[in-house]
């Protein structure tokens, strides 16, 4: 089983800066999801910023969520330099 999401910080351009339960950090780009079904609502930047961690994944108020395994496997973990200086939102 992959690690789950511990904290999230919403970034510009529909990206989520994530900290996982194993201490790894990564950035997940949500832009490819914005044209599909329930994710269309995330196109609204104000609504997108309402992302929170719940049950080890990222959720929004109208019950959108992203599979935690997808967040972990597809997050860009190569450039974590930006994470070292940011303040994450804790769940």
Instruction: Give me the pLDDT at residue 2, please.
Output: 94
Structure tokens given for 62: 């109208």
Non-local (6+) Cβ contacts of 87 within 8 A are 9
Give 41-53 pLDDT, tens digit per residue: 999 999 999 999 9
Q: Are 89 and 36 a contacting pair, CB within 8 Å?
A: no
Domain ranges of the chain: 5-78
Give 2-51 pLDDT, tens digit per residue: 999 999 999 999 999 999 999 999 999 999 999 999 999 999 999 999 99
Q: Are 8 and 16 a contacting pair, CB within 8 Å?
A: yes
Q: Which fold has domain 5-78?
A: NE0471 N-terminal domain-like (3.30.2020)
Instruction: Answer whether residue 70 shows pLDDT above 60.
Output: yes
Q: How far is 43 from 52, CA to CA, in rounded Å? A: 16
Question: Which of 88, 80, 15 lies closest to 53 in space, CA to CA?
Answer: 88
Instruction: Give me the pLDDT at residue 78, please.
Output: 87
Global pTM value? 0.85
């Amino acid at each position: 089983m992959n690690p789950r999401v511990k904290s999230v910080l919403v970034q510009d351009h529909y990206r989520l800066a994530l900290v996982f339960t194993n201490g790894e950090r990564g950035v997940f780009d949500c832009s490819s999801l914005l044209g599909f079904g329930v994710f269309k609502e995330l196109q609204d930047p104000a609504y997108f910023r309402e992302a929170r961690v719940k049950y080890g994944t990222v959720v929004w108020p109208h019950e959108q969520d992203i599979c935690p395994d997808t967040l972990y496997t597809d997050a860009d973990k190569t450039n974590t330099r930006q994470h070292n200086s940011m303040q994450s939102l804790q769940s």
